[in-house]
Amino acid sequence: GDSVTQMEGPVTLSEEAFLTINCTYTATGYPSLFWYVQYPGEGLQLLLKATKADDKGSNKGFEATYRKETTSFHLEKGSVQVSDSAVYFCALSDRQGGSEKLVFGKGTKLTVNP
């Protein structure tokens, strides 16, 4: 079945450091790819998405490019802030019938220190 593998955490960075969280996937067909963020005690929020190869999703300074040749969707941010501390989940969509299911990676906890 479809699966998502993302880098193990936790990741600890200083403010203004560069962030990369690796994500690779295995899927039949051409899924849409997502990054969700979960702040402490809250539900998941969509951070960005890409629906086809070479698409770049971006939001709040975060970017990720859908790379079909390497089956990857790595998350990057040039300068992190303390407020970016959260758990980040990479996910792909698996369409079944009339709805889509999300397959999540295990999540990467990011802590940004001042």
Partner 1 sequence: DAMVIQNPRYQVTQFGKPVTLSCSQTLNHNVMYWYQQKSSQAPKLLFHYYDKDFNNEADTPDNFQSRRPNTSFCFLDIRSPGLGDAAMYLCATSHYAGGPNEQFFGPGTRLTVL
Question: Which stretches of the chain bind partner 1, using CB under 8 A?
Answer: 32, 34, 36, 42-46, 49, 51, 89, 93, 96-102, 104-107, 109
Nearer to partner 1, 16 or 100 (CB): 100
**Cβ atoms 71, 2 nearer than 8 A:** no
Nearer to partner 1, 41 or 114 (CB): 41
Nearer to partner 1, 97 or 114 (CB): 97
Nearer to partner 1, 18 or 39 (CB): 39
- Smallest gap from residue 18 Cβ to partner 1 (A): 25
- Smallest gap from residue 16 Cβ to partner 1 (A): 27
- Smallest gap from residue 99 Cβ to partner 1 (A): 4
Residue 7, burial from CB neighbour count under 10 angstroms (0-12, 13-18, 19+): middle
- Smallest gap from residue 79 Cβ to partner 1 (A): 26
**Cβ atoms 49, 31 nearer than 8 A:** no
DSSP 29-86: S---EEEEEE-TTS-EEEEEEE-STT-EEEETTEEEE-BTTTTB--EEESS--GGG-E
